Structure 1
Amino acid sequence: TVAGGAAAGPGSAELAAGFPLLLSGEWWLAVGAHHPVAAANWVFFANVDVLFWVIAQLQDSTWLIDPYWTLLPPMIGAFYWAHPAADADPLRSLVVTTLVWLWSLRLTHSYFRREEWQIGAREDWRFSSMRASIGEARWWWVSFFAAYLSQHVMLMGITLPLYFVYADPAPWHPVWDTLAAA
């Protein structure tokens, strides 16, 4: 425990314990409670990187990653906002949440317009081009890195500022926050 009796997150001794620790539900709950960015990354890795990649192998198409760009930023923002460690300024939180949802709605509209109002009609032309140049024999494993792990880094990177918005109780700064929201 730390000062005040609160439970500490997993420390170096626990992390050094090795693989059996990873199977402990208690450890995962501690990571989620004390390390929201790490928790968001692990959830994304398991549910998007790995699961969507497996689905892509079954469907022979990476289309599923494209609409996720429209869903993930608001979902990660909601996770950081609802996290027990969140301590955000209400005005900054409201402005950022609104901007993320507006961006998501615009991107969703662009996706459906590009896909002629169908979902999953085709995979992104960049991945189709990579698939053709690399060849089917290697694309199955290259796609994990090219289409999923790379998207993970980009999506988590663009949503990282949301963590700081929801973790900082500093009041709205009339110059800097207004410029950032503009």
Structure 2
Amino acid sequence: MTTLPDRHATALLIGDVQNDVMVGVHERERVIDNIVSLVSRARETGTPVIWVQHSADQELNFGTDGWKLLEALPVASSDPIVHKKHGDAFEDTTLEEELTTAEAGHVLVAGAQTDFCVRSTLHGALVRGYDVTLVSDAHTTEDLTKWGAPLPEQVIAHTNLYWDNQTAPGRTAAALATEDIAFT
């Protein structure tokens, strides 16, 4: 299990489900519905929910309408919101502090975009000692085929495949569907 001593809790980490990020992403409504379901189930068990918001100087300017989290998300006033400027939500943010406060050694990751911030955060968590579960049907990306990327559904499927087979000493990695996530 986690290599972080005395960290037996789980936290749900939802990255970058922001107005401009979610424009034109693959299976947008299904992913949002799955995230809403995850948050509801997390709250029923007292599992901390942590939101992440990305900002960048040339797009997603801090405080703009495009930068804001989707209104459809059930963000509670007590939920931590981590602001980031890099793909990995741990880099130069308060995420580590929030997870320490929550005594979380296991993170469940959902959000956008699969091929950037989701992947970076998955790896960032694993190398920092966390057990990491990717919620396989609660992350998404946009179509970047004009720049040589595979189709979004292939990016998502590949990420689920390789994360479910990821290993690290003393830590676990998995990719599970929303319905298979067990909050305890």
Task: Give the TM-score normalised by the residue count of structure 2.
Answer: 0.26
Q: Greater CA radius of gyration, 1 or 2?
A: 1
Higher strand share: 2
Higher helix share: 1
